[in-house]
């Protein structure tokens, strides 16, 4: 609905622009057309041109010579923004509109993230209902994450063809269908199949949200808004067990995990339809070009998307290939993907491990064990206190760059990408500290508040590394960032999906102390990564064929 209103507003703006300008009026002046009605490619007395005067085109429109797929040369009028302050440009939407759009995308990411972990809160009831082991029941979380990884391969390219809103609305509709089917599943096989498909269609808010944030905010503003999105959306998998704390143990059946997610998704769908604007700039320009063609009668008005007609399957194939080719050649992407994979392995094995950490040792009930997840989110939320500090440092650097003289040959990057690592450099050590602390103080003789506080440290460290990883890759790879982020998403969710199944036997046979010690040691090996990139990142980017 909001996209339809937006399309109409663009049409109104185009009509207003053309009003009173005879040289921009309906129809082309001086066009020569062949018998088939096509405009001659070598016609220099083109649209809106008066004899003896240069070509007159609306602001933001430029003439470009192109060659079509058949090798035939032609000229088009490429439609762009009228000026830097063009109100149709998503960067120039009102502050309230941009904040609202960011919050809605964050809420959508929260919902699909919560769906990933909510089944872990009712594993005992799920396994009893379907007469399977708890390891098999834990597959409900694992296959959902594998669905995330699968859907991530195509959701990014789709959003760059159909627009953000079409992908959000279409995928969320199918997500709701398969969540409902999962709630009605008669056996474990059907549930796992529907959970996988729900994961496939639930991934766009996590893979495309970075694009939406970039559509709406400039690089300096993203220092504030991306952490806001990350902190809110990361609450999804953390609060999934909290939402389902007492489901299956009282009047509500364990199947209510699906009904709660269905209700939440339906409410967010309403918000998207009513309030979420389309933010993908190239699609908005395509709409503008369509209005110009209709109002002027000149079919040469085209947007960049119209000119670059690439088949959907070809685009998806190229995007998938680029994701893996980038990884092979880029140590930055490889190491950051590995780091994020380790963090997600630890996080999602906690969904199996918390019963061992808190129920078996401290005797908490199943419901209270799920509520303990709130402590981890407290650490995630505390990272928000670091945001104003980083914003101040980033703004200082932006101002310094802006005041630095430059030539056309030596334009400086808006900011050194390595400065996005400030979050991680503060929080990375707390991941290993929290894991060691939790593992070696999880004894009945030690207060339960010790492992709870340790989980807060882990949450703080995890979100800081997540924020820095995404912002650093986006700034370092610019136009290739979508492919880099795509591989990061696929790799970490594949690994996390597998480890949720391994988690139960891991904790059962190794014990809490050794399991967490192993995970802490692996995390400790990755801790130097942000510091290495801070020190040598510019040199490493110099070796790259893709980095800025």
Give residue-wise pLDDT tens across range 408-419. Answer: 455 554 568 888
What does pTM read for this prediction? 0.88
Q: Sketch out the chain's domains with CATH numbers.
A: 90-278+313-401+415-536 (1.20.1250.20)
High-pLDDT (> 70) share of the chain, % = 87
pLDDT in the model for residue 312: 64
Mean pLDDT of the chain: 84
Exposed e or buried b per residue across 77-110, where buried means at least 16 C-beta atoms within 10 angstroms of its C-beta:
bbbbbbeeebebbbbebeeebbebbbbbbbbbbb
* Long-range Cβ contact pairs of 508-514 (< 8 A, separation 24 or more): 508/356, 512/353, 512/356, 512/357, 512/361, 512/439, 512/442, 513/439, 513/440, 513/442, 514/439
Higher pLDDT, 526 or 542: 526
Q: How far apart are CA 338 and CA 424, in angstroms?
A: 15
> What letter would DSSP give residue 49?
P
Q: Is the pLDDT of residue 351 over 70?
A: yes
Q: Is the pLDDT of residue 246 over 70?
A: yes
Q: Which of 183-187, 238-242, 266-270, 395-399 has the lowest mean pLDDT?
A: 395-399
pLDDT in the model for residue 482: 72
Quick one: average pLDDT of 526-544? 89
Name the β-bridge partners of 62.
78
pLDDT in the model for residue 51: 39
Q: Is the pLDDT of residue 28 over 50?
A: no
Quick one: average pLDDT of 71-90? 80
Quick one: average pLDDT of 161-179? 92
Q: Using only C-alpha atoms, what is the Rg of the chain?
A: 26
Give residue-wise pLDDT tens across range 463-515. Answer: 999 999 999 988 888 767 777 777 788 888 998 888 888 888 889 898 999 99
Quick one: average pLDDT of 34-42? 39
């Amino acid at each position: 609905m909001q996209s339809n209103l937006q399309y109409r507003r663009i049409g109104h703006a185009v009509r207003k622009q053309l009003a009173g300008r005879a040289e921009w009026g309906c129809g082309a002046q001086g066009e020569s057309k062949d018998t088939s009605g096509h405009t001659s490619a070598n016609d220099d007395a083109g649209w809106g041109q008066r004899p003896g005067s240069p070509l007159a085109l609306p602001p933001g429109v430029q003439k470009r010579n192109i060659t079509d797929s058949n090798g035939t040369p032609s000229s088009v009028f490429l439609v762009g923004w009228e000026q830097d302050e063009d109100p149709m440009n998503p960067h120039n939407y009102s502050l309230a509109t941009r904040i609202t759009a960011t919050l809605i995308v964050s809420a959508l990411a929260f919902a699909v993230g919560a769906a990933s972990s909510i089944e872990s809160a009712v594993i005992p009831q799920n396994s009893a209902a379907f007469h399977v082991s708890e390891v098999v029941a834990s597959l409900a979380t694992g296959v959902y994450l594998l669905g995330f990884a699968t859907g991530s391969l195509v959701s990014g390219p789709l959003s760059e063809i159909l627009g953000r809103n079409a992908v959000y609305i279409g995928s969320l509709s199918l997500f709701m269908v398969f969540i409902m089917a999962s709630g009605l599943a008669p056996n474990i096989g059907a549930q796992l199949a529907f959970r996988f498909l729900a994961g496939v269609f639930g991934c766009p808010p996590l893979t495309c949200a970075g694009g939406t944030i970039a559509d709406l905010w400039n690089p300096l503003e993203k220092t504030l808004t991306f952490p806001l999105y990350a902190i809110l959306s990361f609450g999804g998998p953390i609060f999934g067990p909290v939402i389902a704390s007492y489901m299956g143990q009282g009047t509500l059946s364990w199947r209510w995990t699906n009904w709660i997610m269905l209700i939440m998704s339906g409410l967010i769908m309403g918000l998207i339809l009513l309030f979420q604007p389309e933010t993908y700039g190239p699609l908005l320009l395509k709409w503008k070009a369509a209005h110009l063609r209709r109002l002027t009668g000149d079919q040469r008005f085209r947007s960049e998307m119209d000119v670059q007609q690439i088949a959907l399957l070809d685009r998806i194939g190229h995007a998938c290939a680029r994701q893996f080719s980038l990884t092979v050649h880029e140590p930055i992407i490889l190491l950051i993907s590995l780091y994020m994979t380790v963090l997600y392995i630890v996080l999602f094995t906690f969904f199996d491990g918390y019963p061992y950490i808190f129920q078996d040792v401290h005797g908490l009930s199943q419901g209270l064990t799920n509520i303990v997840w709130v402590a981890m989110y407290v650490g995630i939320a505390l990272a928000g206190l670091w945001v104003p500090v980083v914003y101040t440092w980033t703004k200082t650097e932006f101002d310094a760059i802006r005041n630095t003289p430059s030539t056309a040959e030596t334009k400086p990057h808006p900011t050194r990408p390595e400065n996005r690592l400030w979050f991680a450099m503060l929080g990375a050590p707390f991941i290993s500290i929290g894991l060691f602390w939790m593992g070696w103080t999880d004894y009945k003789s030690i207060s339960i508040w010790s492992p709870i506080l340790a989980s807060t440290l882990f949450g703080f460290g995890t979100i800081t590394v997540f924020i820095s990883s995404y912002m650093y890759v986006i700034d370092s790879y610019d136009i290739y960032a979508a492919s880099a982020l795509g591989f990061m998403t696929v790799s970490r969710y594949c690994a996390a999906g597998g480890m949720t199944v391994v988690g139960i036997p891991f904790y059962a046979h190794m014990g809490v102390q050794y399991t967490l010690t192993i995970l802490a040691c692996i995390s400790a090996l990755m801790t130097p990564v942000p510091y290495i990139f801070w020190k040598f990142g510019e040199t490493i980017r110099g070796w790259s064929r893709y980095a800025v």
